[in-house]
Chains A and B, each alone.
Chain A
Amino acid sequence: MSKSPEVKLVNVPSPNFVPEKDAGKPLVLEAAHLGIDFGGLVAVDEFNIGIGATEICGLIGPNGAGKTTIFNLLTKVYEPTRGTIMIGGRDTHNMTPVQVNQMGIARTFQNIRLFDKLSVEENVKIGLHNHIGYHTLSGVFRLPAYWKEEKKAHEKALELLDIFGMADLANVTADSLPYGAQRRLEIVRALATGPKLLLLDEPAAGMNPSETEELMNNIRKIRDEFQIAILLIEHDMNLVMGICESIVVLNFGRIIAKGTPSQIQGNPQVIEAYLGTHRG
């Protein structure tokens, strides 16, 4: 297991804590008493989290614990049954996924959902959509604004692709990319929407150890360069313990532990959730 970063978590107002470096800055995301029921089934309950401005936070837990459901709640794919989600201090009650995205939350998907028939560059441009500033009509008539903004979008897309060294693949269709590159493209596309918080759903799934190592460096690089927060779901404990400053452990839709990587590693409840206990 790679060495965990030495982080000190400090309390902020509300029941949350963030890394010391983010203590003075407003929280990028704060969820309180969040819960959702599907029919009679309580899928998530009493989910509380506060994420600092440049924090890398891990969301872990056994399969079916409700991790992706939480991503769907935070991005308003589902409207929560209970609780509140504040983005940058604003309540997101009744907001649509598009509004939440414009407020600064972007995500990737556990099962890759790229626009397969679009090129790599076009996929990134879909992410840039709300930052390309020309009217539909100037696109139809190809007015100067169209050329100027499309050129800017093209350059921006290549710049973003370059983070992962993918600029030379710009014209390839997304479905012809190898698996690892598709996962990377999803991150670039999400990043293109200009998020303050990036949600990564199993970014290392299906990657080999060296690809995972590279991904870890890139996640850190994205955080440092763009000064954004990252919340990630991951089963690869090497990655989680290696880059996360704080970790939230979920089991059966409820948080069972929160803390720094070293606190989590030694937590008996977490070990029990993952391995089960011996009942005699």
Chain B
Amino acid sequence: MLAHLINGISLGSIYAIIALGYTMVYGIAKMLNFAHGDVIMVGGYISFYSMTLLGLPVPIAILAAVFVCTALGIVVERLAYKPLRAATSLAVLITAIGMSYFLQNAALLIWDANPKAYPNIFKNFEAVEFAGARISPFAIVAIAANLVIMIALTLFTTRTKVGKAMRAVSEDKGAATLMGINVNFTISLTFAIGSGLAAIAGVLLCTAYPTLMPTTGSMPGIKAFTAAVFGGIGSIPGAMIGGILLGIIEILARAYISSELADAIVFGVLIVVLIFRPTGLLGKQVHEKV
């Protein structure tokens, strides 16, 4: 039981890190960036080839993936979403779905469809015994990474001037602009942070499920999106709680109920939660003005 719980939390930590990208972009740009999952896949490939083809050490390979994904996030926002700043949200949503397919197919062209076997980046580390359960180094790193990222992001958004500007933009773009805040820079920065985190999630995900394909990012992307909605989209702690709960539910469902039904159960729980709390666990209840 404890072992399943730890597995659930570590898988949930990956979902949480991905969910942060969805939730921050939604909070600030008020859009669902469905291409986010595919940035994870790009992060996976960049780190994979950095390690295998270039023979770079693991930390450098991770940095390379973060760097490339950050740049990719900024470029995608500039080229695909920025021209649609004034468009309807439906137009932006369709564009995001298109961008998702574009990235998948670009990956198919560049890296072909053959699954790549991702190296085990923790092969030199031993599992730790804790209360009778073996905790893999992967679980420790995933959980620790999640905690560090969450704390760092919270400090960034609450204590620094750019973080405060991000929160101001998320509340009222127009008023923020008139106070001298550069909204375009703020949105770019949000995409940069989200995509950089997606690279880290990509490395962790490929370590947990070491089969790398152009579609690797889409299912975890959808699940992390679910986690963000589950926790309350737009909320940073909501992404963390939503991600971890989703991971635990998925692993427990797989272990005790049915591995085929695990995904259905995960989405079923989401539906039940949304019936009772339409804005998610930590989402603010929106009062309708009459």
On A, residues with C-beta under 8 Å from B are 75, 77, 96-98, 101-102, 106-107, 109, 113-118, 122, 125-130, 132, 134, 136, 139-140, 146, 149-150, 153, 189-190, 193
Q: Which of B99-114 contact A (CB under 8 A)?
A: none
- Contacts known (A118-B164, A132-B161, A139-B156); A77 close to B178, Cβ less than 8 A: yes
Q: How far apart are the CA atoms of A140 and B159 in the complex, in Å? A: 10
Kindly state whether residue B167 has any CB partner on chain A within 8 Å. yes
Q: Choose from B163, B167, B175, B181 the contact partner of A139 (Cβ within 8 Å).
A: B163
**Most chain A beta carbons < 10 A, residue from B156, B161, B171:** B161
Q: How far apart are the CA atoms of A114 and B181 in the complex, in Å? A: 14
Q: A126–B176 contact, CB under 8 A?
A: yes
Q: B161–A98 contact, CB under 8 A?
A: no
Q: A150–B180 contact, CB under 8 A?
A: no
Question: Which label, helix, strand, loop or mixed, suits the secondary structure of the B interface?
Answer: helix
**Most chain B beta carbons < 10 A, residue from A102, A116, A126, A189:** A126
Q: Choose from B156, B168, B178 the contact partner of A118 (Cβ within 8 Å).
A: B168
Q: Choose from A75, A98, A140 the contact partner of B160 (Cβ within 8 Å).
A: A140
Q: B168–A126 contact, CB under 8 A?
A: yes
Instruction: Report the minimal beta-carbon distance from B274 to chain A, rounded to whole angstroms.
Output: 23
Q: How far apart are the CA atoms of A102 and B180 in the complex, in Å? A: 6
Q: How far apart are the CA atoms of A101 and B176 in the complex, in Å? A: 11
Nearest first, the 7 closest Cβ-Cβ pairs linking A and B are: A139-B160, A101-B180, A113-B175, A97-B177, A126-B168, A115-B171, A132-B161
For B180, the chain A residues whose CB sits under 8 A away are 98, 101-102, 127, 129-130, 193
Instruction: Report the minimal beta-carbon distance from A66 to chain B, rounded to whole angstroms.
Output: 19
For A193, the chain B residues whose CB sits under 8 A away are 179-180
- Contacts known (A118-B164, A129-B165, A130-B180); A140 close to B175, Cβ less than 8 A: no
Q: A115–B182 contact, CB under 8 A?
A: no
Q: How far apart are the CA atoms of A102 and B189 in the complex, in Å? A: 21
Kindly state whether residue B162 has any CB partner on chain A within 8 Å. yes
Q: How many residues of B contact A (CB 8 A)?
A: 22
On B, residues with C-beta under 8 Å from A are 156, 159-165, 167-168, 171-172, 174-182, 189
For A113, the chain B residues whose CB sits under 8 A away are 172, 174-175
For A150, the chain B residues whose CB sits under 8 A away are 159-161
For B178, the chain A residues whose CB sits under 8 A away are 75, 77, 97, 101, 106-107
Q: A189–B179 contact, CB under 8 A?
A: yes
Q: How far apart are the CA atoms of A102 and B179 in the complex, in Å? A: 9
Q: How far apart are the CA atoms of A153 and B162 in the complex, in Å? A: 13
Q: How far apart are the CA atoms of A130 and B178 in the complex, in Å? A: 12
Q: B179–A146 contact, CB under 8 A?
A: no
Given contact pairs A113-B174, A127-B179, A139-B159, enumerate 5 new A-B contacts (beta carbons under 8 Å): A96-B177, A115-B167, A126-B164, A134-B161, A136-B189
- Contacts known (A115-B175, A126-B181); A153 close to B161, Cβ less than 8 A: yes
- Contacts known (A115-B171, A118-B167, A139-B161); A98 close to B156, Cβ less than 8 A: no
Q: How far apart are the CA atoms of A132 and B189 in the complex, in Å? A: 18
For A98, the chain B residues whose CB sits under 8 A away are 177, 180-182
9 example contacts (A-B, Cβ-Cβ < 8 A) are as follows: A97-B178, A98-B177, A101-B178, A114-B175, A118-B168, A127-B179, A129-B164, A129-B165, A193-B180
**Most chain B beta carbons < 10 A, residue from A77, A102, A107, A113:** A113
Q: B175–A109 contact, CB under 8 A?
A: yes
Q: How far apart are the CA atoms of A149 and B174 in the complex, in Å? A: 26
- Contacts known (A75-B178, A107-B178); A117 close to B160, Cβ less than 8 A: no
Q: How far apart are the CA atoms of A139 and B163 in the complex, in Å? A: 9
Q: How far apart are the CA atoms of A159 and B189 in the complex, in Å? A: 31
Q: A101–B179 contact, CB under 8 A?
A: yes
Instruction: Report the minimal beta-carbon distance from A145 to chain B, rounded to whole angstroms.
Output: 11
Q: How far apart are the CA atoms of A106 and B180 in the complex, in Å? A: 9
Q: How far apart are the CA atoms of A101 and B160 in the complex, in Å? A: 21
Q: How far apart are the CA atoms of A129 and B175 in the complex, in Å? A: 13
Q: How far apart are the CA atoms of A140 and B180 in the complex, in Å? A: 21
Q: A117–B164 contact, CB under 8 A?
A: no
Q: A115–B177 contact, CB under 8 A?
A: no
Q: A118–B171 contact, CB under 8 A?
A: yes
Instruction: Report the minimal beta-carbon distance from B20 to chain A, rounded to whole angstroms.
Output: 16
- Contacts known (A115-B172, A139-B156, A140-B156); A122 close to B164, Cβ less than 8 A: yes
